[in-house]
Structure 1
Amino acid sequence: MDGSVMVTGGAGYIGSHAVLALLDAGYRVVVIDNLVTGFDWAVDRRADFVPMAVEDPGVARVIAAHDVRAILHFAGSVVVPESVADPLKYYRNNTAASRSLIETAVAGGVRHFIFSSTAATYGIPETVPVAEGDPTVPINPYGMSKLMTEAMLRDVAAAHSMNFAALRYFNVAGADPDGRAGQSTAGATHLIKVAVEAALGKRASVGVFGTDFATPDGTGVRDYIHVTDLAAAHVHALEKLVAAPTESHILNAGYGKGFSVLQVLDAVDRVTNRTIARVIQGRRAGDPDALIADNAAILRTLPWRPRHDDLDGIVRDALAWERQLAERGL
């Protein structure tokens, strides 16, 4: 592909890994990020970096100056409970900001758009594993804000010369195996991040929210995908969009297998050779018993194949990054 790729939110957790994957594949990359939750030091120095929000009018100038032909859009707010408490923030940061970015992209002649969507678009699925054609009934503003953006992209692709891929992420975890990037957000709520923090003494314990789910051990089951595999999926999706410019895709990004909360904590105990304190708490409203991807469509559509689908390996990479943060005093 001629020109460059713009990555929004490229100073954040998943975005910074996508930047690495693109650069390693030989793409020219420009990152925009307002650094509200991201870190400028997380952007690989091979990429150009512009501190800017996606709804800033200056994005049009960045697209023109860098000859942007494709956008990978990660910028947005991602904490589900916060979205319930402050829904307008999520409709502003996710839906309205995405609308502004898409409009700027169309005006700037951008031909390909990859969107960071979520399994939260399904709400509480009727069947597990859940497939792309299953009902999308979000139960929180976060999931709805993402689903609304998917709808905008479908409509825009039908009306303009732009195709898109929306990847519905399941539970993203781990860190770059080479130690170049990882999850650095303070106060993160992701289970594996929280657990490795506890293993290193950054937290006193890990909360287990509910032990009465309809699962083998009573705790919630989730599909954990290594962030490096997820980043690779974005590169493959971009290649697919470029090769078939009239086709768009909505694809689950997961491994098609799940682990319970207790299984994850057992893995952290195993990898760290210590026992994390577990505090049993009540179930959180809206938590499904299990959320596992039917990933047949992504395996059929893209040449993507998981390379890091080992729970202990995911934990080891997350732990190595957490130790690196501790050495930096972060």
Structure 2
Amino acid sequence: MTELVIDVRDLHKTFGERHVVKSLSLQVSRGEICGFLGANGSGKTTTIRMLCGLLEPDSGEGTCLEHDIRREAAKIRRQTGYMTQKFSYYEDLTTRENLELVAGVYEMGDQQTAVRDIMERMNLGRYEKQLAGHLSGGWKQRLALAACVLHRPKLLLLDEPTAGVDAKARREFWDLIHDMASEGLTVLVSTHYMDEAERCNRIVYLADGHIVVQGTADEVVSSAGLVVYEAVGDRVDEVSRRIRRAPGVEAAAVFGHALRIAGADRAALQRAISSFPEFSWHETEPRLEDVFIHQLAAKETPL
């Protein structure tokens, strides 16, 4: 049987009158990279904090790392690395000093060896004497990741870890994540970047506090029931402004000289594109980004 690192059922969390997480059940297997998608306010961060014992759910039950999320939160935190979007280490300490501080907090044995090894793995050696506040965004994130995995956790929780980081740094960051997952580390990561979501083994999409769809990237795309048409022309900016107001068109996006429209109603889309016969339209495969926009549109549609 597959070992479940996260196994929670029917979690609820409210803050005052706001019901942030609603009847959420989630299972994540050992070594899996699970992507959390959803708009701001969909409940991703609150769920992550409940899983690692920083917040207690109002109701629901389950385990994380085989420990009860209510009664054994401290044990969960000892075996979990949690990285937030905001850099949360000391900018007036050097890279090495930050890692030495973390090693001390976890009371690790042979702390100098542990710090040396993680700096080598993360390629941080050249910056060991540099103040953390002087690092670029990409190297700050790499330092934060090093600090999160220094104590060799079994679960890594990443809350939009690469926001504001350039494309090269993001790719290198994800290469490190996949390397560690291949060694058995389980990763739950929230992201707004579709290229990052596609690198996850499985995607869980949250809306209004509950899971609305989950599966591999291909499964999520195929289950959305989206229809996408694309055309190339010289007036795509003008046409996009007009066609996105047509009934049934949920999104109209320009990519260079190409215009891409998406929606769930094929007949409505065909009526929309028939108003622009000067374009040569063809149906194409949906992308994960199309599904993301579709889910946002569904959330905003009045009942």
Do these two structures clear the TM 0.5 threshold for a shared fold by scoring above it? no
TM-score, normalised by the number of residues in structure 1: 0.27
| Larger strand share, 1 or 2 | 2
TM-score, normalised by the number of residues in structure 2: 0.29
Decide which structure has the larger Cα Rg and report it: 2
